[in-house]
Amino acid sequence: MKRLSWFNAVSLTLGFAFLYIPMVILVIFSFNESKLVTVWAGFSTKWYGELMQNEAFLNAAWVTIKVAVFSSTIATVLGTIAAYVLVRGGRFMGRTLFSGMIYAPLVMPEVITGLSLLLLFIGIGLDRGVFTIVLAHTTFAMCYVSVVVSSRLVTFDRSLEEAALDLGCSASEAFRLVTLPIIAPAVISGWLLAFTLSLDDLVIASFTSGPSATTLPIKIFSAVRLGVSPEINALSTIMIAIVTVGVITASLVTKRQVAKQKREEMEAVRN
């Protein structure tokens, strides 16, 4: 392998610096003693302490997690069914409309999705709160799940399912015992994607939440509008840490799985 040319080395260094320096600064200044975010006044963890005492933030965090768990779980079930129906369902009436409705939310501006759902909830007289946010998040997240799962379904060998059916499995047994284990990694990454999208969403949640339910992004947004604050830096640091640990763990697990699979294949060949 030839060495990296200086041009590539420079563009990669600058590029990754651009991606990571803002977050590094954010993390460093969450440990700043001073209330001024841009002037360093010594190391301190007091903003984390204040954050832990801030009832409003803690409540919002709790609401956000609840919404994310419920919506991503329902979205994973619905999205997997939708993917299965699209890839394996054959022809049925209104299939084009169905696949259109799966893909459209992916490119729909959030302001439009949020506005339209709010108008629906008002139209049918549904009180806005945790429930309506869950409905809204489930709707757009199931489309992401369905795209992730169907890309796995397309590539996998259909004869495995057919073999199971030939050997006397019912359709639901074939799905449970053969299809589901094979697409499981895609279903899990779909769930993770849905979960993060829900945690992250500001716009749709703002439209569909009521006074009784404020999510963390809504809280952060209204605080940040007034300017930077060390407390928000501390909160951001916690969130960045969780995501980093999560992503690295996930990639290590998949790496190990791939290695294991390869080893098993090698052994099978040898035997």
Within residues 94-153, the interface with other proteins by CB under 8 A covers: 94, 98, 101-102, 104-105, 107-112, 115-117, 119-120, 122-123, 135-136, 138-139, 142, 146
Min CB(181)–other proteins separation in Å:
19
Place of tokens 């407390």: 231
Applying CB under 8 A, which of residues 41, 58, 171, 245 lies at the interface with other proteins? 171
- DSSP per-residue letters across 204-225: HHHHH--TT---HHHHHHHHHT
| Residue number with CB closer to other proteins (164 or 199) | 199
Distance of closest approach, residue 109 Cβ to other proteins, in angstroms:
2
- What is the residue type of 57? F
Contact 102, 82 (CB under 8 A): yes
Residue 169 is a binding residue for other proteins (CB under 8 A)? no
Residue 110 contacts residue 205 (beta carbons within 8 Å): no
Which span sits near other proteins by CB under 8 A: 8-16, 156-164, 180-188, 263-271? 8-16
CB of 14 to other proteins, least distance (A): 8
> Which region among 49-57, 79-87, 161-169, 263-271 touches other proteins (by CB under 8 A)?
79-87
**CA max distance for the chain:** 72
In the complex, the smallest distance separating the C-beta of residue 16 from other proteins, rounded to whole angstroms, is 6
Nearer to other proteins, 1 or 268 (CB): 1
Q: Measured between alpha carbons, how far is 266 from 264 in angstroms, rounded to an integer?
A: 5
CA 141 to chain centre: 8
Helix, strand, coil percentages (3-state) for the chain, rounded to 5, are 80, 0, 20
Among 42, 55, 91, 92, binds other proteins (CB under 8 A): 92
To other proteins, the closest distance from the beta carbon of 81 in angstroms equals 5
Q: How far is the CB of 271 from other proteins (least distance, A)?
A: 30
Q: C-beta of 265: minimal distance to other proteins in Å?
A: 20
125 DSSP 8-state letter: T
Q: Of residues 178-217, which lie at the interface with other proteins (CB under 8 A)? A: 196, 199-200, 202-203, 207, 217
Binding segment for other proteins (CB under 8 A), chosen from 3-11, 43-51, 65-73, 155-163, is 3-11
Per CB under 8 A, 8 contacts other proteins: yes
Cα torsion angle, 83, 177, 161, 157, sign: positive
Residue 203, sorted as left (phi over 0), alpha (psi -120 to 50) or beta, turns out to be alpha
Position of tokens 């992916």?
A: 106
Place of tokens 């320096």: 21
The answer to whether residue 51 forms part of the interface with other proteins (CB under 8 A) is no
